[in-house]
Amino acid sequence: GAGVSQSPRYKVAKRGQDVALRCDPISGHVSLFWYQQALGQGPEFLTYFQNEAQLDKSGLPSDRFFAERPEGSVSTLKIQRTQQEDSAVYLCASSWASGVVTGELFFGEGSRLTVL
């Protein structure tokens, strides 16, 4: 596709439900990143994939958060037993390069999660 595609764009979940957010990066992009952006805040790093390998998951806030990219393209961010503090926009970004330094990040429009 022309850009990074994320779905769903909007998700409302009841507290305790599991949610899955999908990211379809730009074709051929090696690196994929997930960020969490709370209302009125800057994005905060969650995790990073290089192809199918998850090289950095240090930003995941708890073991309720899990991300995968099994075939090195599409990625899914799963949140189990959602809590109100999980309400945020989840941004996915991809890059042709390995890592950030040499490659521009292209962001999707985000998935806005509201937990009631």
Instruction: Give the binding site for another protein (CB under 8 A).
Output: 4, 31, 33, 40-45, 48, 55-56, 58-59, 91, 93, 99-101, 104-105, 107-110
Contact present, 26 and 4 (Cβ < 8 Å): yes
Cβ at position 16, least distance to another protein in Å: 27
- C-beta atoms surrounding 39 within 10 Å: 8
β-sheet bridge partners, residue 49: 32, 54
| Choice between 19 and 91, CB closer to another protein | 91
At which residue do the structure tokens 């730009």 appear?
26
Specify the residue, 17 or 57, whose C-beta has the smaller distance to another protein: 57
